[in-house]
Amino acid sequence: MAVLDWGALAGVTMLAFGGALGATGRGLRAGLAVQAEGMMILGVVGVAVLTGGDVLGAGFRSSVGLAFGLDPLSGFFLAVLALTAVPTLIFARDYLPGSHGARALAALTAAFLLSLVGVLAARDVIGFLGFWELMTLVPATAILVSRRDREVRSAVYAYLAITHLGGAGVWIALLALAYHGAIGDPAALAAAGAGAQTLVAVAALVGFGTKAGFIPLHAWLPRAHPVAPAHLSALMSGMMIKVALYGLIRVEFQWLGGTPQLLGLALLAIGLISSLGGVLWALVQHELKRLLAYHSIENVGIIALGLGASLLFAHAGNSTWAAIAFAAALLHVANHAIFKTLLFLGAGALQRATNSLDLDHLGGLLRRMPWTGGAFLIGCMAIAGLPPLNGFASEWLVLQSLLHVALHQPLGVALASGVALAGLAATAALALLCFAKVVGLVLLGQPRRAECEAAVDPPVGMVVGMSLLALMCIALGLLPGLVLPTLAGLAPGANGSVLARHAGLILPGTGSYLPLPLALALAALTAALIGLRGKRRAAPAPSWACGQPVVAELGWSSAGFTKSLRLVLEAVLRPRREIEVVQSGGMVQSVTYEGHVPSLLDTSVYEPTVRAGLRTAAVARRLQSGNVRTYAGYLLGLVIGLLVLVYAGVLG
């Protein structure tokens, strides 16, 4: 154990040292390398704790006083953090130099990673809440260091405002837990009664849910994630929201002292709304990073569906499937962290090469940037949930979990999970539609601008970072069964060896998903068919446009490809169009068209709330007239009021 203790210390020290070294400017690349090595050591420690099943350092305590330690659940999240952070840091080594505020960003990257590690390793309330707040504030600072225009300031303000309002739930939940002495001790909260349990459960759901990006508390996410520098967007979308899920799992699954059915149903509902809503608004975005940010909401929703199914099974006493559903959610945590990091890094590389992230301004980049394009393509296929990549493995598991809830549970619960099942199937198809669009507009077809024509692959470090992540997508996709039993062992109430270890996913009540044979079969069959097709005799020809010349202006756009879906779902999406026709002398001089799809919750919840808040503030401001006589009047009124209260015997 001593080795692991020292390893964790060394990892954290190297992170801090790497940050300081990066801040010096000349040691920027060396500093990032040291950070990467530190994260690698921490990842190894995480894996060792996860597989060893032992506890490192302190245990959880309700008393005040900093304490740090790791248990298998923390170890899992730490390992995932390392898996995404190491390639990200390798990417940043070639991405950061030359960008605005590079030195500060290198230091802030280390601070951000340290705060993420701190949340995972904290074993007391003060440490947890302290690192939790740092985890929110450091990326906000980093965003403001890199860009300072009005749009960014407003995005950061919305991010801080919403995460702090919602984040109050985290404070309430954890302080209530500490008050009852229930941190790390589920029996204590159960003894405190149903009221305390409900308070903690709801407060944690709101608090951690805000930070994880559950709809309707998600509004900050698509604003803040796209404006950060690429490697920080990747860490925010890939890991920060996962650390929020770590907190949610800690409180709701480990410390609540019960498995309430209502909480399971609530998670199903939240998961369904988040996954469908996230992917729907992702579809109508035209900016790549904003689209990816909305997909984070979708994937957090899928994880919530898995967690909800797990709670429902646990409530019904079906410990095998409770463990499988829990493992499904955790596997999706890892998978989403990996492919979302890959996609955000890819977006950063594409932006560097073409100076644009507008989907309608890219195109033809697979051929011009084969390494970036290839890795990005793999990431797109993984997030679209296509076999044999990793996204499909975990989505298959979540689908199976929901389906088995419907098979084994009483009517009401079963129907709820049936609806969630249909919703998840539709989500998967929508994600496919969305990423078919992204792949088509970004990687395939003709370049839509001169910059795309001249684009080339970025420096080797960026390519290596993305390729590592793409390889992880493939490896986890082909061998998900190797990690599944370990993850199932983390489920509360799991009794040691729930599942046997196979390469594929061989589960009771399913027909088994065997990705490795499937991938081999698809590859062999494709090769055989290409051989069968023989030597290709192909005539070059223009694309068919009914005999008209093919012009780039008539190519399909992001909005065009989703038009039919927008029409079908007009009632939900409520697209807005503004058409302006300038006429003079009976002739149309110019037509300007602008169409966009605002987020339904922005227009129906957030905007009215903000308006009401501003109105209230305007009323309150009238009290502050600035006139001395008015304030004297207030004082007089206060004194008279107090005297009346004393006379009435209310005070003293």
Binding to another protein (CB under 8 A) within 521-580 occurs at 521-522, 525-526, 529-530, 533-534, 536-546, 550, 554-556, 560-565, 567-568
Query: Looking at beta carbons only, is 183 or 413 nearer to another protein?
Result: 413
* Minimum CB–partner distance for residue 415 and another protein (Å): 5
Kindly identify the residues of this chain, within the stretch 67-126, that bind another protein according to CB under 8 A: none
> Residue 9 or 569: which CB sits closer to another protein?
569
In the set 222, 461, 492, 504, which binds another protein (CB under 8 A)? 504
Shortest spacing between CB 136 and another protein, in angstroms = 35
Residue with Cβ nearer another protein (271 or 492): 271
- Cβ-based neighbours of 424, under 8 Å, separated by 6 or more: 272, 275, 302, 305, 395, 398, 399, 402
Task: Say if CB 210 and CB 145 are below 8 A apart.
Answer: no
Contact indicator for 631, 622 with CB cutoff of 8 Å: no
- Tokens 């960003």 correspond to what residue? 105
The residues near 444 (Cβ < 8 Å, ≥ 6 apart) are 363, 364, 366
> Token pair 């599942």 is at which residue?
499
List binders of another protein among 224-253 (CB under 8 A). Answer: none
Our CB check for another protein shows the closer of 568 and 640 to be: 568
Compare residues 54 and 360 and give the one whose CB is closer to another protein: 360
Residue 43, amino acid:
G
Residue 70, φ and ψ in degrees, nearest 5? -135, 135
Number of residues that bind another protein (CB under 8 A): 80
436 contacts another protein (rule: CB under 8 A): yes
Tell me the closest approach of the beta carbon of residue 72 to another protein, in angstroms.
29
Nearest to 55 by CA among 68, 69, 76, 37: 69
Minimum distance from residue 230 beta carbon to another protein (Å): 24
DSSP state string for 287-332: BHHHHHHHHHHHHHHHHHHHHHHHHHHHHHT-HHHHHHHHHHHHHH
Nearer to another protein, 39 or 413 (CB): 413
Nearest to 136 by CA among 271, 247, 287, 36: 247
Determine whether 226 is exposed, middle or buried from the number of CB atoms within 10 Å of its CB (0-12, 13-18, 19+): buried
Residue 555, sorted as left (phi over 0), alpha (psi -120 to 50) or beta, turns out to be beta
Minimum separation from the CB atom of position 423 to another protein (A): 7
> CB of 489: closest distance to another protein in angstroms?
24
Q: Nearer to another protein by C-beta: 568 or 632?
A: 568
**Between 570 and 607, whose beta carbon lies closer to another protein?**
570
Supply the minimum distance, in Å, between the C-beta of residue 313 and another protein: 15
Q: Among residues 70, 271, 392, 462, which is the contact residue for another protein, using CB under 8 A?
A: 392
DSSP string, 435-490: HHHHIIIIISS--SSHHHHT-----HHHHHHHHHHHHHHHHHHH-HHHHHHHHHTT
Q: Would you say 210 or 562 has its CB closer to another protein? A: 562
Token look-up 């994600």 returns 431
Query: What is the contact mask toward another protein in residues 323 to 362, using x (rule: CB under 8 A)?
Result: ----------------------------------------
- Cβ distance to another protein smaller for residue 262 or 407: 407
Decide whether 496 or 511 has the Cβ nearer to another protein: 511
Residue 490: CB minimum distance to another protein, A:
24
C-alpha span between 310 and 323 (Å, rounded):
7
> One-letter amino acid identity for 433?
L
Listed residue (352, 386, 382) closest to 369, CA to CA: 352
- Residues 44 to 73: which contact another protein by CB under 8 A? none
Measured from the CB atom, the residue of 237 and 427 that comes closer to another protein is 427
Which of 25, 53, 509, 595 touches another protein by CB under 8 A? 509
Please identify, using beta-carbon distances, which residue of 354 and 409 lies nearer to another protein. 409
Which residue, 525 or 581, is less far from another protein as judged by CB?
Answer: 525
Nearer to another protein by Cβ, of 89 and 397: the residue is 397
Residue that is written with structure tokens 């594929």 in the block: 504
| Binding span for another protein by CB under 8 A among 8-16, 30-38, 252-260, 441-449 | 441-449
Give the burial string for 244-258 (b: 16+ CB within 10 Å, else e): bbbbbbbbbbbbbbe
Closest CA to 398 of 299, 318, 478: 299
CB of 512 to another protein, least distance (A): 4
Q: Please, which residue, 529 or 623, has the CB nearer to another protein?
A: 529
Distance CA 78, CA 117 (A): 7
Q: How far is the CB of 538 from another protein (least distance, A)?
A: 4
What mask, x for binding another protein by CB under 8 A, covers residues 357 to 386? -------x-xx-------------x--xxx
Which amino acid is located at 432 in the chain?
Answer: L
Token digits for 188?
A: 């204590």
- Cβ(170)–Cβ(125) under 8 Å? no
| Rounded distance between C-alpha atoms, residue 362 and residue 130, angstroms | 42
For residues 22 and 35, give the distance between their C-alpha atoms in angstroms, rounded to a whole number.
9
Residue ranges in 454-493 that form contacts with another protein under rule CB under 8 A: none
Please state the closest distance from residue 554 (CB atom) to another protein, in A: 7
Which of 92, 155, 439, 473 forms a contact with another protein (CB under 8 A)?
439
CB of 245 to another protein, least distance (A): 24
User: Could you tell me which of 606, 648, 570, 614 has the C-alpha nearest to residue 284?
Assistant: 570
Task: Give the residues across from 56 on adjacent strands.
Answer: 70
**391 three-state secondary structure:** helix
What angle, rounded to 10 degrees, do the helices at 28-52 and 72-95 form? 160
503 binds another protein (CB under 8 A): no
| CA distances in angstroms from 620 to 55, 175, 613, 624, 638, listed in the order given | 53, 32, 10, 7, 17
CB of 81 to another protein, least distance (A): 29
Contact assessment for residue 180 and residue 189, using Cβ atoms and an 8 Å cutoff:
yes
User: From the CB of 400, what's the least distance to another protein, in Å?
Assistant: 7
- The site map against another protein for 396-435 (x = CB under 8 A) is x--xx--x--xx-xxx--xx--xx-xxx-xx-xxx-xx-x
Minimum distance, C-beta of residue 273 to another protein, in the bound complex (Å): 15
- For CA atoms 385, 388, 389, 391, the dihedral sign is positive
Report, in Å, the least distance between residue 477 CB and another protein.
Answer: 11
Interface with another protein, residue 317, by CB under 8 A: no
